[in-house]
Amino acid sequence: MSRELRSFSAIFSRVLGLALLLTVRAPAQQQSSGPIVIHESEHDVSPTLRDIVARMPAPGARAPAHVIPLRHPHLIDAQQPSAADSALQNTAAPPASTINPSNFDGITANGYAPPDANGSVGDTQFVQIVNVEYAVYDKASGAVLLGPVPINTIWSGFGGLCETTNGGDPIVLYDKIADRWLISQLAYTPRLTSNFQCIAVSTTPDATGAYNRYAYDFGGNLPDYPKFGVWPDAYYGSSNTFSGSTGAFLGARACAYDRTSMLAGTSAAAICFQQGTKVASLLPSDVDGSTPPPAGEPDFFLGLSGNGGSALWLFKFHADFLSPSNSTFTGPQSINVASFTTCGTCVFQGGAPQQLDSLDDRLMNRLAYRNFADHEALVVNHSVVVSNGAGVNWYGLRWYEIRSPNGKPSLYQQGTYAPDSTFRWMGSAAMDRFGDLALGYSASSPTTYPSVGVRYAGRVPSDPLGTLEAESTLLTGNGVQVYLSRWGDYTSLSVDPGDDCTFWYTNEYLDTIGDFNWKTRIGSFRFPACDPPPDFTLAAVPASQSVIAGGGTTYTVTVTALNGFTGTTNFSVSGLPSGATASFSPSSVMSSGSSTMTVNTSGATPGGGYTLTITGTSGALVRTASVALAVGCSGCGDFSMGAWPGILTVHNLRRDRSRDEWIYGQRHIQRERPAGRHRQFLLSTIGHRLRVFGPDCDHDEIGAARGISIYHYRHKRQPVSHSVSDLDD
């Protein structure tokens, strides 16, 4: 049922949408006496997930249809717009120009509703998680690498509720700092007498591999609607605390989980602060991009004001796991925003009387943080009521960019995206490295089937503040829900760590009319201005070669095209010793390809070690690769110290016939078979490789400089094999 629309207090109705608004302190702190330290009830390291899945029995019949409850804190009343939204964008800007590399289906209906579809993108994989399943995809092809399988599969063999139940409200995040995956979901008994937060952190960047698994006991209180963010010092989480016995809302709880220990798989405490009932549905900041927050900066938590006005509340969480009593959770700081109103369950569907819940009483997943060179920014969104002034209302997406969150937070820009009367809700926002902002969301109207999570809109930095360009559609749905009002509880938009440009979005849609027949879509897109320019890499092998003065050797130089590079790369080399020459065949390659570099020395080329720098040039693009060259000579003298860095010539080598070894001090050169009267060796260390030359200028091919056999050393009269041990330069 829809809640009756009532008006906002007029004090907030004229706040300017694009102004940089002053931040004021909220009149009262909302935190309880804390901090509260929660030690994990259990932790271990799992087998690889792919091995667990391989041993699983064939799935049985699916459980009966089940709706996962949504608990509303009911902090914000439904209201009738009393004035025009000062942040409203009610006209369509020019179409966004984006590139769409991927667009494919994800997990489909499994007997649970709503799906709460969210996902995250890693270096090579995209992981999607829904109520109550998990799947891993190859991000290049969209091929399924694992799943879908129940989420509690990750906790197989762990014991307790994390292993035996799937409580839903799952989250997946890619820790871009450590190249690891974080998976979480709830586990609880039917009467909520026992409630756990289950968290798993992968041991590698492979989401099908092993996980460090943890269970945190929240006792008789349910930590509902948990959300997470990755920060350098902790995995920060938030939840709405409900009494398991009475169902009463007790306030939001903010927790910091010991990230360093969880990455290591050791005991990891959580430090939590319980808030009062005016604080609800907080979002912790989650790092995007390759630049971390300044050292020691607290994590930020953001929510709608609990005082009923049009404002955001900002909190700061500093966790100290060595001395938990030094941890602090401060705030709120109130950031005034343009006046908005809410409605509740009033999203229309085409051809169906059932309306959908907008979840407009909270900010929507995620609170995306990015550290640019000259400023820090947070972006977030929620749904608001839009009116045409004649009693016709629909939904738009209110989005914000907040700057200087750790100083004096300011609202840099805000907008309500509602270019027509389509209902837009269930959004997720993020920014790429170039400052482009994107927003993915669901869309529906009285005449349109929910196209559900497969629309997006965005802006580039040169667009007018507070505006988004025209939206795009990843997929249009063909169905409506008949009886259920629940449509997801959140979605997610993540940024590819590979190029820090490509947005990946996942949400649900309906292909046919029904209630437990949802599907999900996974799509990616990027803005051309952020698209990496054509480029190439240059590599050369082997890393080092040895020659005798007067001889020659070769290296293979390889060009690999990136981002559609099609240019011609010309080669050159510097660092050659005197008397040496180099040539390339071919002298250039187009796009990707290889060339052979031949180095010839003369009899007058001095012995020693040299670094050769190979340069590939294509227009303004210049790339280099380095290789080593060791030159030996005939008659190098009786063990004199060379002048080149990394070159060692052994003095005073003596032979221990009883042990069949050559000895220099305490260093030994062992001889496996007699080598005649060979006495002179020149040993050069190039990186971690050794080169040995005899008086006849023959030489070996060898590996590392410690404890490795020297093979193929050839004396004038016979081939022999030596080994080197404990020889330092």
pLDDT digits (tens, 9 = 90+) for 496-537: 998 999 999 999 999 899 999 999 999 999 999 887 778 999
Best CA proximity match to 385, nearest among 351, 360, 353, 414: 360
Give pTM, 2 decimals. 0.74
Residue 278 has pLDDT above 90, yes or no: yes
Q: Does residue 451 surpass a pLDDT of 90?
A: no
Q: Is the peptide bond before 170 cis (omega within 30 degrees of 0)?
A: no
Say how far apart CA 710 and CA 727 lie, in whole Å: 13
Q: Which two tokens stand for residue 277?
A: 């009932």
d(CA 714, CA 720): 6
pLDDT level of residue 3 (50, 70, 90 thresholds): very low
CATH code, 10-530: 2.130.10.10
The structural domains of the chain, with segments of one domain joined by +, span: 10-530, 533-633, 634-729
How confident is the model over 415-439, as a mean pLDDT? 95
Question: Please, which pLDDT band fits residue 390 given cuts at 50, 70 and 90?
Answer: low
Instruction: Provide φ and ψ at 401, rounded to 5°.
Output: -120, 115
pLDDT digits over 25-68, tens only? 333 445 456 899 999 999 999 999 999 999 998 877 777 789 99
Strand partners of residue 505: 493, 523
List C-alpha distances in Å: 315 to 226, 301, 543: 17, 5, 52
As a whole number, mean pLDDT of residues 437-458 equals: 82
| Distance between CA atoms of residues 318 and 254, nearest Å | 11
Place of tokens 């302190």: 25
The single-letter code of the amino acid at 246 is T
Tell me whether strands 88-89 and 410-417 are parallel, antiparallel or unpaired.
Answer: parallel
Residue 445: the pLDDT is 85
Burial of 103 (0-12, 13-18, 19+ CB in 10 A): middle
Are the beta carbons of 134 and 148 closer than 8 angstroms? Answer: yes
Q: Check residue 181 and give its pLDDT.
A: 98
Please state whether the peptide bond connecting residue 35 to the residue before it is cis, i.e. omega within 30 degrees of 0: yes
> What is the homologous superfamily of the domain 533-633 according to CATH?
Immunoglobulins (2.60.40.10)
- The β-bridge partners of 395 are 385
- Report pLDDT digits (tens) over 204-263: 999 999 999 999 999 999 999 999 999 999 999 999 999 999 999 999 999 999 999 999
Banded pLDDT at 639 (limits 50, 70, 90): very low
User: Using one digit for the tens of pLDDT, what is the confidence trace for 652-666?
Assistant: 344 455 554 444 343
More confident residue, 496 or 694: 496
Query: Smallest Cα–Cα separation from 128: which of 85, 160, 180, 173?
Result: 173
Query: 262 φ, ψ to 5°?
Result: -70, -35
Please provide the average confidence, as pLDDT, over all residues in the chain: 83
Highest mean pLDDT among 340-349, 411-420, 689-698: 411-420
**Which long-range CB contacts under 8 A does 669-675 form with residues at least 24 apart?**
669/722, 669/724, 669/727, 670/722, 670/723, 670/724, 670/725, 671/720, 671/722, 672/720, 672/721, 672/722, 672/723, 673/720, 673/721, 674/720, 675/713, 675/715, 675/718, 675/720, 675/722
Q: Is the pLDDT of residue 178 over 60?
A: yes
Could you check whether 10-530 and 533-633 share the same CATH topology?
Answer: no
pLDDT score recorded for residue 288: 98
Q: How far apart are CA 266 and CA 640, in angstroms?
A: 53
